[in-house]
Chains A and B, each alone.
Chain A
Amino acid sequence: MVLVTIAIMALTLKHLFAVIMLSGAFSLVSAMLFVVMDAVDVAFTEAAVGAGVSTVLMLATMALTVRVQKETKRPIILPLVVVCLVGVLLIYGTLDMPNFGAFDSPAQLHLGSTYLSITYKDMGIPNVVTGILASYRGYDTLGETVVVLTAGLGVILLLSGLKGRKDKE
C-alpha cells in the first residue's frame, strides 16, 4: 500500500528533488518487503544500491540539469490504454499461477531443494544464496562485473567527451 502511494506521488509531483527522494523511499520500503519474503541478501543489496547509490546518482544528475519538471501537454489517453491492456494481460497470466507461498508450486519442487541440500556439502558456506552466487553461478557473476565495468566506461566516455564537442562548435 505504501509502495503504491509512493508510486502515485512520484507520478504527480513536479519537483524532481521530491520525486528522487520518493524513489529512494520506494527502494527502502521494497527492501523491507524483501526481508518479509525471506530474501535477506536481496534486501541488503536493494537498500545499498537502490536506496543509496542510485539516489545519489540521480541527485547528481538533477544538480547538473534541471530542478522542476515542465507540464507535459501530450494526450494521456493512449498511454493509459496501453498500460491497462498490459495490466489485463499480466493479470490473466497470473490466473494460472499457484497461490502465494504454496509448497507444491513448480518453482519449489525441483532445483530449489536440491541446491539447499548440496550447497553446504560442496562449499561449506551456510548461506545458500552466497554459495550459489559465487560458485555455481561464478561465471555469471563474472559477466555481471563485466557489465558494470562496461557501464562505468560508458559513463566516463560520455561525460569526458562533453568539453571537446563544445570547443569545436
Chain B
Amino acid sequence: MNSGLNFIYGHLPYWLFIILMLSGLFIVVSRGNLIKKIVGLNIFQTSVFMFYISIGKMKGGTAPILLDKSANNSAVIYSNPLPHVLILTAIVVGIATTALGLALIIKIREEYETVEEDDIQKLDQNDLEKYNKKNVMETNS
C-alpha cells in the first residue's frame, strides 16, 4: 500500500506536465485562429521543457553551480546539468520558430484578409473551383 502511494506521489509531476502538454496540443488541433495555435504550441513546448528538467532534478539537490571551487566535494548534491543545457538551446530555437510562424501569419493575413483556418480553406476552395471552371471553358472552346 505504502509503495503504491509512493509510486503515485513520485509520478504525479510527470502526469501534471503531460496534462499541460495535452492542453497545448488540444489548443493547436481544435482552435482555428492561427495566433491561438501559436500560443498553444508555446504551452506545449514549455511543458516538454518542464518534463525534461524534472528528469534532471534530484531530491535535496541544488543548482549546478559549484559552491566549493577547489575540489568536488560529495557533501553537496547538485542536480543534473545536462538537461538544463539541452533545454537552454531548445528555448532559443523555440523562439526562432515562433517568430517565423508569426511572420507567416502576417503574410497569410495580407493575402487572405483573415487568420481563421476555416475561412482560409473556404477561400482556397473557391479559388480552386474558379480555376477548374476556367480550364473546362478553355478546353470546350
Within A77-91, the residues touching B (CB, 8 Å) are 79-80, 82-83, 86-87, 90-91
User: Which residue on A lies nearest to B15, using beta carbons?
Assistant: A91
Q: List 16 A-B contacts (CB under 8 A).
A: A7-B24, A16-B33, A27-B46, A34-B50, A42-B84, A45-B92, A53-B95, A62-B35, A66-B35, A74-B32, A79-B30, A83-B26, A90-B21, A94-B11, A150-B96, A159-B106
CB interface residues, B 1-23, toward A, < 8 Å: 6-7, 9-16, 18-23
Q: Knowing A38-B64, A58-B102 touch, does A80 contact B20 (C-beta < 8 A)?
A: no
- B46 near A26 with CB under 8 A, answer yes
Tell me the smallest distance from the CB of A60 to a CB of chain B, in Å: 8
Q: Is the CB of B106 within 8 A of A154?
A: no
Chain A count of residues within 8 A CB distance of the other chain: 91
- Rounded to whole angstroms, the CA-CA distance of A33 and B116 in the bound complex is 34
The SS class assigned to the A binding surface is helix
Inter-chain residue pair count (beta carbon < 8 A): 282
Q: Which of B66-99 contact A (CB under 8 A)?
A: 66-67, 69, 72, 78-85, 87-89, 91-99
